[in-house]
């Protein structure tokens, strides 16, 4: 097929991608937007088969077959709670693909007589470095969310020296690759870039992973666009750049939703040492004791409340307890209690994650209330039930300047009349800081797995 028709197909594909992204940013049209983008992608890939220069098909067909099986299987089998880390993995392989394309192009072009054209060289170097950083950085982010790697920020003794050395290696290898056009230096560069990805993500705490994944998503987009310059392919340039630009903005928006400027997320190395429990207790004027209660006590408290607000957190997601919290809420409504679910913008692991889980459990939309709307209502709330959330309800973020999470917007549950915290233990959350809420005299703790605790509460409530 002539190049012109292929370019026309790429134009149609690009229009589909743009409409898809536009629709993805509105709740009602999001799902169709995703499919329109997928159709655009299919058109772009389909017409690529018709490019005349291509003479071998078996290799790409085999690769697409293998990739499709892996992609379908992993997307279908992943549990809803593990979706953030799955997004990290999908992002990582995209970055890896861009880096491999750059390496193979360099391998093909380097032995040619005469220097490479400047734009090819720049494109190759950019895709190789950024793609590698994105690949390895995403794998570390996956490891942190999957808890294969500790979620806490990891810093090693000579961190600054190591970083400086690494930066020097990357810059040196870029210069040597560009001047000598020797494959060896590109290999050195790519290894250094992989280590850079590791060093970039390891010192960032697990709570900040969504923002990091979003940033790496933008990186992969730019790496893909850069391979488009190398291969003179407009579809790649448009698709990659759209993601690079929208991904960068989305990263800033997410950072804003979490109340943490991007610079602080990336270079803040948050809460490396947790504070002692005594300190947290002193902050609320309590005696340092934690009150516990039985499921029956709590069921009574709930049954005679006028207004109950549930605050679901990651613990609920891990325990798959979204249906149980819905059951408990339903029973309370039958008793005439006004029930709401307070959604912190980053409850769970990513912005919007908790909305997805509760929607799956058929919680009606109008009962899901966003942070800014529910915060003024806490003083009139009789009981708040915090289910497996920690950092997002930590009052230290509001009243302890100097605390690593100070300044993060939180749900002001400590202003409610009574607080019930369902949690497995007193251990700190992802941010690694202690929570004075647990020592507050009006808080009672129910130490249990979220699902087990909610099931017990349902049983007790039925007996009330």
Binding status of residue 282 toward another protein by CB under 8 A? no
Site for another protein in 366-395 (CB under 8 A): 370
Shortest spacing between CB 165 and another protein, in angstroms = 28
Q: Which two tokens stand for residue 251?
A: 């990263």
Shortest spacing between CB 9 and another protein, in angstroms = 11
Shortest spacing between CB 374 and another protein, in angstroms = 14
Binding test (CB under 8 A) with another protein, winner from 86, 110, 282, 369: 86
Query: Which pairs from 41-44 meet CB under 8 Å and 24+ separation?
Result: 41/13, 41/16, 41/17, 43/9, 43/12, 43/13, 43/16, 44/9, 44/10, 44/13, 44/235, 44/239
Binding test (CB under 8 A) with another protein, winner from 110, 352, 407, 424: 352
Closest listed residue to residue 185, CA positions, set 195, 171, 198: 171
Q: Which is nearer to another protein, 96 or 151 (CB)?
A: 96
Sign of CA dihedral 7, 12, 13, 19: positive
- Residue 115 has what DSSP assignment? P
Q: Which two tokens stand for residue 164?
A: 């400086």
Give 187-208 as a DSSP string.
HHHHHHHHHHHHHHHTTS-GGG
Binding test (CB under 8 A) with another protein, winner from 174, 204, 242, 311: 242
Site for another protein in 291-330 (CB under 8 A): 327, 330
Site for another protein in 153-192 (CB under 8 A): none
Q: Which is nearer to another protein, 202 or 258 (CB)?
A: 258
Interatomic CA distance for residues 441 and 431, integer angstroms: 24
- 352 CB-near residues (< 8 Å, 6+ apart): none
Binding status of residue 235 toward another protein by CB under 8 A? yes
Interatomic CA distance for residues 17 and 235, integer angstroms: 10
Instruction: Answer yes or no: 287 catalytic.
Output: no
Binding status of residue 351 toward another protein by CB under 8 A? yes
3-state secondary structure of 384: strand
Conformation bin of residue 381: beta by default, left when phi > 0, alpha when psi is -120 to 50: beta
Do the Cβ atoms of 135 and 197 come closer than 8 Å?
A: yes
Site string for another protein, 394-433 (x = CB under 8 A): ----------------------------------------
Binding status of residue 264 toward another protein by CB under 8 A? no
Q: Which is nearer to another protein, 250 or 316 (CB)?
A: 250
Using the contact rule CB under 8 A, the part of the chain among 92-100, 149-157, 199-207, 396-404 near another protein is 92-100
Q: Which helix (H) or strand (E) holds 53?
A: none
Q: Which is nearer to another protein, 173 or 358 (CB)?
A: 358
Binding test (CB under 8 A) with another protein, winner from 238, 384, 446, 453: 238
Site string for another protein, 14-53 (x = CB under 8 A): ---xx-xxx-xxxx--xx-xxx-xx--x--xx--xx-x-x
Q: Which is nearer to another protein, 189 or 445 (CB)?
A: 189
Of the candidates 55, 296, 297, 391, the residue annotated as catalytic is 391
Closest listed residue to residue 144, CA positions, set 135, 154, 129: 154
Q: Which is nearer to another protein, 74 or 399 (CB)?
A: 74
Give 408-437 as a DSSP string.
-----GGGSSEEEEEESSS---TT----GG
Q: Which residues are catalytic?
A: 391
């Amino acid at each position: 097929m002539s190049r012109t028709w292929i370019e026309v197909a790429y134009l149609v594909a690009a229009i589909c991608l743009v409409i898809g992204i536009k629709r993805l940013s509105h709740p009602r049209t999001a799902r169709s937007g995703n499919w329109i983008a997928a159709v655009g992608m299919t058109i772009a890939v389909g017409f690529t088969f018709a490019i005349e220069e291509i003479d071998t098909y078996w290799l790409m067909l085999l690769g697409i077959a293998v990739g499709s099986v892996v992609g379908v299987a992993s997307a279908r089998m992943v549990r809803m709670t593990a979706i953030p880390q799955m997004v990290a993995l999908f992002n990582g392989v995209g970055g890896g693909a861009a880096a491999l394309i750059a390496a193979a192009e360099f391998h093909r072009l380097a032995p040619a007589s005469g220097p490479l054209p400047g734009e090819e060289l720049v494109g190759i170097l950019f895709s190789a470095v950024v793609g590698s950083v994105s690949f390895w950085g995403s794998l570390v982010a996956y490891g942190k969310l999957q808890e294969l790697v500790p979620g806490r920020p990891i810093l090693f003794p000579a961190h600054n020296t190591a970083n400086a050395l690494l930066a020097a290696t990357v810059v040196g290898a870029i210069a040597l690759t560009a001047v000598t056009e020797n494959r060896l230096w590109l290999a050195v560069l790519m290894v250094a870039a992989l280590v850079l990805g590791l060093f970039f993500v390891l010192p960032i705490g697990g709570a900040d992973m969504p923002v990091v994944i979003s940033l790496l998503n933008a990186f992969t987009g730019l790496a893909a666009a850069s391979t488009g310059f190398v291969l003179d392919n407009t579809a790649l340039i448009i698709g990659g750049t759209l993601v690079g630009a929208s991904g960068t903005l989305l990263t800033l928006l997410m950072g804003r939703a979490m109340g943490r400027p991007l610079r602080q997320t990336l270079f803040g190395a948050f809460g490396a040492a947790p504070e002692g429990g005594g300190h947290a207790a002193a902050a609320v004027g309590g005696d340092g004791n934690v009150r516990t209660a039985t499921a029956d006590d709590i069921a009574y408290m709930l049954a005679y409340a006028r207004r109950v607000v549930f605050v679901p957190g990651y613990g609920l997601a891990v325990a798959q307890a979204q249906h149980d919290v819905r059951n408990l809420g339903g029973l309370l409504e039958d008793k005439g209690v006004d029930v709401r679910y307070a959604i912190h913008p980053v409850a769970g692991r990513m912005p919007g994650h908790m909305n997805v889980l509760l929607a799956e459990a058929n919680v009606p939309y109008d009962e899901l209330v966003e942070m800014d709307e529910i915060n003024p209502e806490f003083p009139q709330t009789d009981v708040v039930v915090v289910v497996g959330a920690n950092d997002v309800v930590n009052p230290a973020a509001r009243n302890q300047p100097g605390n690593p999470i100070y300044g993060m917007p939180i749900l002001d549950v400590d202003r409610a009349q009574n607080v019930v915290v369902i949690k497995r233990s007193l251990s700190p959350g992802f941010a690694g800081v202690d929570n004075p809420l647990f020592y507050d005299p009006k808080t009672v703790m129910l130490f249990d797995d979220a699902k087990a605790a909610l099931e017990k509460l349902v049983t007790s409530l039925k007996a009330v």
